[in-house]
């Protein structure tokens, strides 16, 4: 199977960001060679080199001739600007100029698209790990306010999904699509069924191909979900706070949910723990951004109409 440079770049980006997130990687660490990555991903080493060069342009890695590829210091949100952001902004501004929109006006319109109203998403799942994963990503990466809604009727004294009435959008996974659709019809809210990034699935399947994977989570209810997510896979669930971590063999591959990763001691298991901080597919990402922009524009237009009527 031949993979595109973009797919290889995204896979490598996810791995590096996940490693930095958990402390498994630090600035200066050497990354796998072109030949190693090519063999693992069934890709031409030249494509891997192109992917590493793209990540170098983003400031995520550093290429040293005859030495290898190394993790580069990477600014956290709010601490700096990635090198390629400037080129993105230039391209966007130039496209605006070609349409007769100066950069100052484009900046104003961007604010209208993002900052007119706080958009709320109800994250609908049946366990704390997946609710947390949905909520954290849609909040941190897309700027939504979030409402956690447990799909398990035993988990709340409120009627199922009652809290979703305060949301603009209901977000769920394929496992609860039917219940979420009923909820969306009841409260007349749009529904988005999130799908996973193929890079996430590829990474997990690669781990499973090597043998048993120990999966650390925080909610016992999530353990029963794993067999449905990865049928027939040899996954050994560990519930943080209930099961002893020292039962996990020292050399065993370990995956941790985002909620569990936050509770693990720094450097635990030698830092050899995988988690994927950004697991939405590109289709889900586009749908979220589209909804966010359209919702802001709708509110802005309604306010403009109201002001126009009031001035008459």
- Which pLDDT tens digits describe the chain residue by residue (312 residues)? 466 888 888 888 878 877 776 566 788 999 999 999 988 888 899 999 999 999 998 888 999 988 999 998 665 555 554 556 677 788 889 999 999 999 999 999 999 999 999 999 999 999 999 999 999 999 999 999 999 999 998 877 777 678 888 999 999 999 999 999 999 999 999 999 999 887 778 778 888 888 899 999 999 999 999 999 999 999 999 999 999 999 999 889 999 999 999 999 888 888 788 888 788 988 999 999 999 999 999 999 999 887 777 777
Q: Are strands 120-125 and 169-172 parallel, antiparallel or unpaired?
A: parallel
- Determine contact, residues 31/55, Cβ cutoff 8 Å: no
Q: Give 149's strand partners.
A: 124
Contact between 280 and 137 (Cβ < 8 Å): yes
Beta bridge partners of 30: 70
Structure tokens at 108: 């104003």
Segment holding 160, helix H or strand E: none
**Is the distance from CB of 124 to CB of 161 less than 8 angstroms?**
yes
Instruction: Return the ∠ at Cα 22 (arms to 254 and 256), rounded to 5°.
Output: 35
**Which CATH number is 5-71 given?**
1.10.10.10
In angstroms, rounded to a whole number, what is the distance separating the alpha carbons of residues 56 and 49?
10
267 phi and psi, to 5 degrees?
Answer: 80, 5
What's the CATH architecture for 115-195+282-310?
3-Layer(aba) Sandwich (3.40)
DSSP string computed for 28-96? TPBPPPHHHHHHHHT--HHHHHHHHHHHHHTTSEEEETTTEEEEPP-PPTTT---HHHHHHHHHHHHHH
Contacts of 138 (CB under 8 A, 6+ apart): 121, 123, 144, 146, 171, 288
Instruction: Give the residue among 303, 280, 312, 301 at the shortest CA–CA distance from 14.
Output: 280
Phi, psi of 217 (to 5 degrees): -135, -175
User: Which residue, among 217, 276, 202, has the nearest Cα to 20 in the 3D structure?
Assistant: 276
Q: What is the pLDDT of residue 23?
A: 60
**Which phi and psi angles does 235 have, rounded to 5°?**
-110, 130
State the pLDDT at residue 5: 84
For the chain, give every domain's residue range: 5-71, 115-195+282-310, 198-274
Question: Would you state the pLDDT for residue 307?
Answer: 78
What residue has token string 């496209």? 95
For residue 256, what pLDDT is reported?
94
C-alpha torsion sign, points 281, 284, 286, 292: negative
pTM, to two decimals: 0.78
Q: Do residues 71 and 26 make contact, with C-beta atoms less than 8 angstroms apart?
A: yes
Residue 80 pLDDT: 52
Closest CA to 112 of 303, 306, 300, 310: 300
What is the per-residue pLDDT for 16? 84
d(CA 78, CA 66): 34
The strands making up 145-150's β-sheet, listed across from edge to edge, are 145-150, 120-125, 169-172, 191-193
Give the pLDDT of residue 19: 72
């Amino acid at each position: 199977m031949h993979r595109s440079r973009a797919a290889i770049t995204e896979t490598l980006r996810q791995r590096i960001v996940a490693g930095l997130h958990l402390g498994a990687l630090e600035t200066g660490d050497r990354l796998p060679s072109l030949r190693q990555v090519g063999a693992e991903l069934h890709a031409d080493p030249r494509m891997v080199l192109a992917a590493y060069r793209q990540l170098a342009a983003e400031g995520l890695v550093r290429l040293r001739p005859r030495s290898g590829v190394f993790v580069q210091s990477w600014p956290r949100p709010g601490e700096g600007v990635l090198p390629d952001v400037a080129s993105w902004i230039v391209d966007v501004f130039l496209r605006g100029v070609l349409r007769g929109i100066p950069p100052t006006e484009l900046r104003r319109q961007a604010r209208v698209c993002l900052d007119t109203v706080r958009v709320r998403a109800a994250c609908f799942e049946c366990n704390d790990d997946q609710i947390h994963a949905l909520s954290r990503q849609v909040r941190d990466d897309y700027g939504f306010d979030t409402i956690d809604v447990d799909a398990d009727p035993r988990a709340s004294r409120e009627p199922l999904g009652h809290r979703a009435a305060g949301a603009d959008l209901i977000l769920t996974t394929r496992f609860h699509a039917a219940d979420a659709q009923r909820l969306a019809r009841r409260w007349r809210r749009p529904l988005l069924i999130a799908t996973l990034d193929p890079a996430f699935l590829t990474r997990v399947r690669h781990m499973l191909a090597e043998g048993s994977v120990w999966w650390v989570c925080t909610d016992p209810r999530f353990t029963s979900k794993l067999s449905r997510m990865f049928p027939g896979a040899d996954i050994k669930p560990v519930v943080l706070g209930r099961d002893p971590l020292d039962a996990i063999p020292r050399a065993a591959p370990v995956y941790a949910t985002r909620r569990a990763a936050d509770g693990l001691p720094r450097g635990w298991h030698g830092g050899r723990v995988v988690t994927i901080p950004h697991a939405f597919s590109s289709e889900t990402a586009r749908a979220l951004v589209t909804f966010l922009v359209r919702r802001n524009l709708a509110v802005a237009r309604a306010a403009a109409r109201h002001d126009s009527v009031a001035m008459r």
